[in-house]
Structure 1
């Protein structure tokens, strides 16, 4: 079974995290091939962007990254402390480790910033929040070729430009880790593909 780290930074945007829990969760109950999702953070409790507080299942120091096939990084809000964790060297090191093994790394919105800061997107294509010139400029300064599309895939790295692209990113993770058939099966179960009962 494929295993994915959902990395929860302080100030994470709840919706951007929830799409991964939902899409990958559906693979375990309705899909053709289950994917295990494990929530990981740098602190025992994470205060989210919109005042939820959540508890990651594991601290980063408690897991072996070799046990995982992909890393998902939702974005968050700077005013809620997102970059305290997003730019932490422990996360940046994890990103470099996954990239060195060509493992899948997926992000939503400003979740692309720690990927860029780690250096693995230097000279490669990516995107981030399209309504923030500051964030796009930061990505460029980190050597990223900004592509103005909702979702940008460069080899093993998926970036996206806003919360509206979050579910597409999660679906892409499902498809890349398993199959198009598995993705279509869960999309059917979730109502993204119409099927009528007879």
Structure 2
């Protein structure tokens, strides 16, 4: 069984984590034959207070057996930039061949972990200066909702994580499966304004 871990931490932006969760869990639960399971994980057990005060309880303490990790954004990422253990967890996942992804300012964590050098990358629209301070040689893509550079995938802010997660299903299980998941979660964006 392949495993995906979505990292939770105090100050995580709610939709950055729950958007990909909705896509990946809908996929894994409705199509178990694809061989994936997804968990919300954190550095330690116990509740996590998100950016807009939602409180989440992770399924598990983060492990080293994920084939896919999602690092969401939010103000809490700035604290993670100073957490050597979390940065090493991200680097170790990459070294062992996991697909490392980010939503929004989760890209800052990937940059601090040293994974974005020379890569095309996207992040939240107002976070490019911070990104370039951490990874001055990355190649910012300010127009894309997500950027796939092989073993690292980044997405722009908040709702763009849903698009990225659908891309991941497409990449890992095929276009038809991604369309089935998109239909199941009734994701057909038509903003009213």
TM-score, normalisation: structure 2: 0.85
The Cα of 1:85 is off from its aligned counterpart by 2.9
User: What residue number does 1:38 align with?
Assistant: 39
- How many Å separate the matches in 2 of 1:188 and 1:11? 31
Q: Number of residues paired by the alignment?
A: 185
User: What residue number does 1:58 align with?
Assistant: 60
Gaps of 5+ in 2: 189-193
The Cα of 1:180 is off from its aligned counterpart by 2.0
Most deviating of 91-100 and 132-141: 132-141
2:3 equivalent to 1:9 = no
CA contact (8 A) 1:33 1:182 kept: no
2:145 equivalent to 1:150 = yes
CA contact (8 A) 1:110 1:135 kept: no
- How many Å separate the matches in 1 of 2:121 and 2:128? 15
The Cα of 1:179 is off from its aligned counterpart by 2.2
- How many Å separate the matches in 1 of 2:41 and 2:161? 19
**DSSP-derived class of the 1:83 partner:** helix
- How many Å separate the matches in 1 of 2:117 and 2:135? 9
Most deviating of 27-36 and 5-14: 27-36
Superposed CA offset, 1:17-55 (max 9, x none): 111221112123433625211111123221100011212
2:132 equivalent to 1:137 = yes
- How many Å separate the matches in 2 of 1:102 and 1:156? 8
- How many Å separate the matches in 2 of 1:133 and 1:92? 20
The Cα of 1:139 is off from its aligned counterpart by 4.2
TM-score, normalisation: structure 1: 0.83
The 5 A counterparts of 1:90-169 are: 90-141=85-136, 143-148=137-142, 149-169=144-164
Moved over 4 A (4+): none
Compute the RMSD of aligned alpha carbons.
Answer: 2.0
- How many Å separate the matches in 1 of 2:69 and 2:81? 13
- How many Å separate the matches in 2 of 1:145 and 1:159? 12
Report which of the two has the higher share of helix: 1
**DSSP-derived class of the 1:51 partner:** coil
